[in-house]
Amino acid sequence: MKRKPSLWLLLLVAGSFIAGISSRATVSSLSRASTVSYGSDRTIALDQPRYLDVAQLDEGWQVPSLSRFTKSVAETVVTAGGAKVNKRMLKAPNEPLVTIDQFRLSQRGELIISRTPCYISDVISYSVSSKLFAYEVRGVVAIKQSDGRIERGGGILDIFFYDENGNGKFETRVVSAQLDRVPAWASH
């Protein structure tokens, strides 16, 4: 029997999931949950593994292939969180193939880290008054063909890396299609 999840059920699943993760790394967000099925042993099984949108790592995430993106091709000013933000697009001589970790919950609510090959097309830096607070990495998921060739698979990847406190470490990683905020330290 399948039912739409109620809010308390999602909070219960999220709470028990977050409680089971080490203090060094936390992952949150069940925004993509759709339906829940109940097993005969009264366990909760999610219809599909849930990809998690937000992940934090105390020692900071490494921005993939950042050192290859040296050519600035465009600079604009955008508004985010009420602040004027400098947006600078960087390009590499070629699109590097990198591996990106993606996080999801198994049917049992366990954290699964999948390594996904991607071609990185753009890296965009965001700053306010020369205070760099975020990078956006855009890419296309790569698929290994039966003959061993690796080709673009069509899936688009857009990940933001945020420096939450100005220490130069990008502790928060958000899978998103747009810049959603400016950390307080950067806007002052």
Q: What confidence tens digit (pLDDT) does each residue in 95-128 have?
A: 899 988 888 888 887 888 888 889 999 999 999 9
User: What does the DSSP 8-state code read for residue 63?
Assistant: P
- φ/ψ of residue 15, rounded to 5: -65, -45
CB 127 within 8 A of CB 162: no
> In a 10 Å sphere around its CB, with 0-12 CB exposed, 13-18 middle and 19+ buried, how is residue 7 labelled?
exposed
Burial 51-60 (b: 16+ CB within 10 A, else e): bbbbbbbeeb
Maximum distance among all Cα pairs of the chain, rounded to whole angstroms? 58
Q: What is the chain's length?
A: 188
Per-residue pLDDT for 14 more than 50?
no
In 3-state terms, what secondary structure has residue 140? strand
The residue ranking higher by pLDDT, 30 or 153, is 153
| Span 34-48, pLDDT tens digits | 333 333 443 444 445
Tokens representing 187 are 């806007």
Answer whether residue 50 shows pLDDT above 50.
yes
Token duo for residue 152 = 């673009």
| Cross-strand partners of 139 | 120, 157
159 with 134: CB under 8 angstroms?
no
Q: Has residue 24 got a pLDDT over 60?
A: no
Tell me, yes or no, if the pTM score tops 0.75: no
Q: Is the pLDDT score of 154 beyond 80?
A: no
pLDDT of residue 29 exceeding 70, the answer is no
Residue 16 main-chain phi, psi, to 5 deg: -70, -30
Percent of the residues in the chain that have a pLDDT greater than 70, as a whole number:
73
What's the average model confidence in pLDDT over 72-90?
93
- Please tell me the number of Cα atoms within 13 Å of 177 on its side-chain side: 1
Helix (H, G, I), strand (E, B) or coil at 68: helix
Q: Whole-number mean pLDDT of the chain?
A: 75
**DSSP 8-state code for residue 52:** P
Helices (H), the chain: 7-19, 184-187
Which of the 8 DSSP states describes residue 41? T
